């Protein structure tokens, strides 16, 4: 097996075997929302697997053949790693404390001036690194290996799995995740690594994990699969692709990207994953950015892409709407969508089928309505009302006995005066309760029966006739 690992990456593996991915595939789904991604000259043709930065002038990418390149704000230049083994991940706490890990148990540390090897105590492949600070760093890899750096030494931790672990990421000391082969997910809760179940099962490898907070964590993998952790369970999200998704990274919970084979690039804006045009068909591996105007992606053949014009999605909040229910005098209602936030916005009450610049929707028939709000300047940035649907109730209800309400007037023949919104017929029993508007019959009326309750009156004009059939 070549130690250069050009165009190879771990796909699925148990504790003692690897399957290697060597194919270059092309994304086939339609891109409906493009951003400007510009190639940068990396100075290498080696595959780049990992990227991390401290700021826009200090960014490192690592890859096959011991490759390390650094961005200084204007150009990428090679740094001496001192090794020829592949490097698969990089992370740092600051510009003087950066770790790169890779083939054969390799761990390199940057101290601000040089890269030097650290003793890992293993020859296993190391594929991921992440930490909280310079004294709390985790490395993961082959055979379920997890190592913890305490500022002085690397110490093994019990992972509870022998599956190959591909990436590690977290929020704080109590919320760290590692994912890998056969859909394995392990979470560090502050004292131990525990297994978590996910709906895809063991049939899908998970290649990366990233979160904005303890209730918003994503993992991506084979077959275009995206998993989302909400603080208690993992669920599947629709990606719109079947391409392998190798990396995931974001700025906040509403602005997350995943990238993978064939130049596949998908952005989560609000609640929707939407494809972007990366401008390449090369396989993409990882992403890092300092802010919305400075984001980099790395991939095979030394690919580095840069974007400085990503539009952030910071959705509005939707509070309880103002609702006017239908009445017997007006069988339509009104919903006013109450949203907070800045910027021009559009509103929908039919789950996004139609949009309006007005938050007031009148003339709505009884039924269920699903509210959404989106930014006018960024239509993909949607917010869904958490308590959907909003229900407008009919002013009329179906009854076995037609009951007088007198809601509109005293006229017997006005439908709005009856509980079910219809005038009684020859087959219906009628009840007249004690209400403000007593019914007046001024024409010929035939019903099955009439019950006049205590205190109620039934009035007939000289032209009014009432016939009961008792049928």
CATH number at residue 256: 2.130.10.10
Which residues, in sequence order, are CB contacts of 446 under 8 Å at separation 6+?
425, 426, 466, 467, 468, 469
- 179 in the same domain as 261: yes
- 283 in the same domain as 208: yes
**Three-state SS sequence of the chain:** CCCCCCCCCEEECCCCCCEECCCCCCCCCCCCCCCCCEECCCCCCCCEEEEEEEECCEEEEEEHHHEEEEECCCCEEECCCCCCCCEEEEEEEECCEEEEEEHHHCEEEECCCCEEECCCCCCCCEEEEEEEECCEEEEEEHHHCEEEECCCCEEEECCCCCCCEEEEEEEECCEEEEEEHHHCEEEECCCCEEECCCCCHHHCCEEEEEEEECCEEEEEEHHHCEEEECCCCEEEECCCCCCCEEEEEEEECCEEEEEEHHHCEEEEECCEEEECCCCCCCCEEEEEEEECCEEEEEEHHHCEEEECCCCCCCCCEEEEEEEECCCCCCCCEEEEEEEECCCCEEEECECCCCCECCCEEEEECCEEEECEEEECCCCCCEEECCCCCEEECCCCCCCCCEEECCCCCCECCCHHHECCCCCCCCCCEEEECCCCCCCEECCEEEECEEEECCCCCCEECCCCEEEECCC
Q: What is the mean pLDDT of each run of 10 residues along the chain (471 residues)?
A: 34 36 30 66 98 97 98 97 97 98 98 98 98 98 98 98 98 97 97 97 95 96 97 96 97 91 92 91 96 90 90 78 92 94 88 95 96 83 91 87 92 93 93 95 95 95 93 64
Among candidates 162, 141, 140, 160, which has minimal Cα distance to 149?
140
Count: domains in the chain? 3
> Which pLDDT does position 323 carry in this prediction?
97
Which of the listed residues 307, 325, 355 is the one where a domain comes to its end?
307
Which of the listed residues 252, 286, 307 is the one where a domain comes to its end?
307
- 368 in the same domain as 303: no
Q: How far apart are CA 416 and CA 322, in angstroms?
A: 25
> Which pLDDT does position 375 carry in this prediction?
83
> Which pLDDT does position 142 carry in this prediction?
98
> Is residue 241 domain-resident?
yes
> Which pLDDT does position 10 carry in this prediction?
41
> Is residue 2 domain-resident?
no
- 290 in the same domain as 347: no
> Which pLDDT does position 79 carry in this prediction?
98
> Which pLDDT does position 242 carry in this prediction?
97
- 352 in the same domain as 262: no
Q: How far apart are CA 465 and CA 463, in angstroms?
A: 7
- 346 in the same domain as 197: no
Count of residues making up the chain: 471
> Is residue 438 domain-resident?
yes
- Which residue, chain included where needed, has tokens 């009432």? 466
> Is residue 5 domain-resident?
no
Among candidates 259, 285, 252, 296, which has minimal Cα distance to 60?
296
Query: Could you tell me the CA-to-CA distances from 25 to 260, 262, 302 in Å, in that order?
Result: 10, 5, 17
> Is residue 362 domain-resident?
yes
Paired tokens of 81: 């790693």
- 301 in the same domain as 227: yes
> Is residue 3 domain-resident?
no
- 408 in the same domain as 380: no
Among candidates 402, 406, 400, 409, which has minimal Cα distance to 425?
402
Paired tokens of 104: 């054969």
Instruction: Tell me if 140 sits within 8 A of 122, measured CB to CB.
Output: no
Strand partners, 429: 449
Instruction: Tell me if 205 sits within 8 A of 244, measured CB to CB.
Output: no
CATH number at residue 352: 2.60.40
- Each as own residue / partner, the long-range contacts of residues 445-448 (CB below 8 Å, 24 or more positions apart, any chain) are 445/412, 445/413, 447/402
- 216 in the same domain as 155: yes
> Is residue 111 domain-resident?
yes
Domain that holds residue 453: 402-468
The C-alpha angle with vertex 318 and arms to 316 and 321, in degrees rounded to 5, equals: 145
Instruction: Tell me if 146 sits within 8 A of 157, measured CB to CB.
Output: yes
Whether the predicted model's global pTM rises above the 0.95 cut? no
> Is residue 24 domain-resident?
yes
- 411 in the same domain as 303: no
Which of the listed residues 279, 307, 335 is the one where a domain comes to its end?
307
Among candidates 46, 73, 95, which has minimal Cα distance to 302?
46
- 419 in the same domain as 371: no
Q: How far apart are CA 364 and CA 335, in angstroms?
A: 8
Q: How far apart are CA 69 and CA 167, in angstroms?
A: 21
> Which pLDDT does position 314 carry in this prediction?
67
Strand order in the sheet with 48-55: 48-55, 58-63, 67-71, 76-78
- 323 in the same domain as 175: no
């Amino acid at each position: 097996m070549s130690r250069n690992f050009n165009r190879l990456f771990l796909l699925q593996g148990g504790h003692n075997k690897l399957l290697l991915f060597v194919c270059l595939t092309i994304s086939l789904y339609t891109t409906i929302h493009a951003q400007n991604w510009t190639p940068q000259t990396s100075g290498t043709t080696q595959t780049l697997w990992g990227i991390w930065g401290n700021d826009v002038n200090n960014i490192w990418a690592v890859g096959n053949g011991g490759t390390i390149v650094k961005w200084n704000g204007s150009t990428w230049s090679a740094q001496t790693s001192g090794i020829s083994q592949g490097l698969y991940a990089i992370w740092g706490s600051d510009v003087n404390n950066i770790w790169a890990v890779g083939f054969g148990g390799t761990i390199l540390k940057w101290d601000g001036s040089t890269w030097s090897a650290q003793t890992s105590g293993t020859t296993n492949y190391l594929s991921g690194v992440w930490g909280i600070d310079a004294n709390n760093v985790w490395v993961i890899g082959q055979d379920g290996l997890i190592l913890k750096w305490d500022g002085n030494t690397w110490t093994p931790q019990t992972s509870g799995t022998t599956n190959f672990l591909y990436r590690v990421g977290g929020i704080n000391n109590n919320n760290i995740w590692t994912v890998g082969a056969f859909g394995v997910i392990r979470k560090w809760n502050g004292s131990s690594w525990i297994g978590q179940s996910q709906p895809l099962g063991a049939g899908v490898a998970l290649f990366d994990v990233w979160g904005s907070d303890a209730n918003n964590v994503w993992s991506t993998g084979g077959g275009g699969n995206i998993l989302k952790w909400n603080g208690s369970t993992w669920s599947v999200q629709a990606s719109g692709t079947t391409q392998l998704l190798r990396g995931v990274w974001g700025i906040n919970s509403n602005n997350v990207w995943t990238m993978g084979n064939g130049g596949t690039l998908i952005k989560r804006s609000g609640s929707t994953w939407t494809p972007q045009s990366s401008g390449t068909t090369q396989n993409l591996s990882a992403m890092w950015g300092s802010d919305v105007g400075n984001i980099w992606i790395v991939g095979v053949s030394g690919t580095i892409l840069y974007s400085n014009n990503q539009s952030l999605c910071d959705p509005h909040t939707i509070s309880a709407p103002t609702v006017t229910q239908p009445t017997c005098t007006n069988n339509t209602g009104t919903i006013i969508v109450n949203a907070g936030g800045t910027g021009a916005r559009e509103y929908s009450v039919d789950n996004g089928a139609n949009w309006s610049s007005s938050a007031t929707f009148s003339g709505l028939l009884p039924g269920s309505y699903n509210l959404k709000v989106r930014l006018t300047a960024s239509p993909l940035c949607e917010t869904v009302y958490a308590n959907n649907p909003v229900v407008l109730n009919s002013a009329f209800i179906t009854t076995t006995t037609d009951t007088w309400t007198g809601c509109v007037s005293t006229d017997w023949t006005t439908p709005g005066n009856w509980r079910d919104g219809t005038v009684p017929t020859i087959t219906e029993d009628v009840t007249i309760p004690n209400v403000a508007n007593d019914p007046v019959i001024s024409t010929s009326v035939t019903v099955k029966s009439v019950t006049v309750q205590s205190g109620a009156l039934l009035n007939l004009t000289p032209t009014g006739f009432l016939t009961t059939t008792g049928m």
